[in-house]
Amino acid sequence: MKTYRKVLEINIPTRRGYLNITNKVDDAILNSGIKEGLCLVNAMNITSSVFINDNESGLHRDFERWLEKLAPEKPYNQYDHNGYEDNADAHLKRTIMGREVVVAITNGKLDFGTWEQIFYGEFDGKRTKRVLIKIIGE
């Protein structure tokens, strides 16, 4: 069995935003030389997410509105976590949007369902964060 590890560095210039990282995961699979296996992609930060969904900008605005209803950013003093920090909402948004995805690799490619793409979700940006790609297989 072969293994491959790659860390992406991502800096979203706004507090919240989404980035399609599917091409970067495709590149990692190509570089790994692995044709059959599993690919894990996870956010290495507790205020950002990796998730799979549709590459459609209306849906991404819907995520933003939905998450702001569930865990509004402001007022900051509504959260026990805020004091030294102001990012309690970002921790909650990360929890609901998820930490990681695992996708099968078949014939050297991501074995996606219809319209599936891999996204990085940022909930407390304006700084560099990391995403881990780990691939195992042969």
Tell me: does residue 48 bind Zn ion (CB under 5 A): no
Strand partners, 118: 52
**Which of 54/85 has CB closer to Zn ion?**
85
Q: Check residue 42 for interaction with Zn ion (CB under 5 A).
A: no
Residues 6+ apart with CB under 8 A from 21: 8, 10, 41, 50, 118, 119, 120, 131
Per CB under 5 A, 85 contacts Zn ion: yes
Q: Give the residue with the Cβ less far from Zn ion, 36 or 85.
A: 85
Tell whether residue 83 is a contact of Zn ion (CB under 5 A).
Answer: no
The answer to whether 87 contacts Zn ion (rule: CB under 5 A) is yes
128 near 30, Cβ under 8 Å?
Answer: no
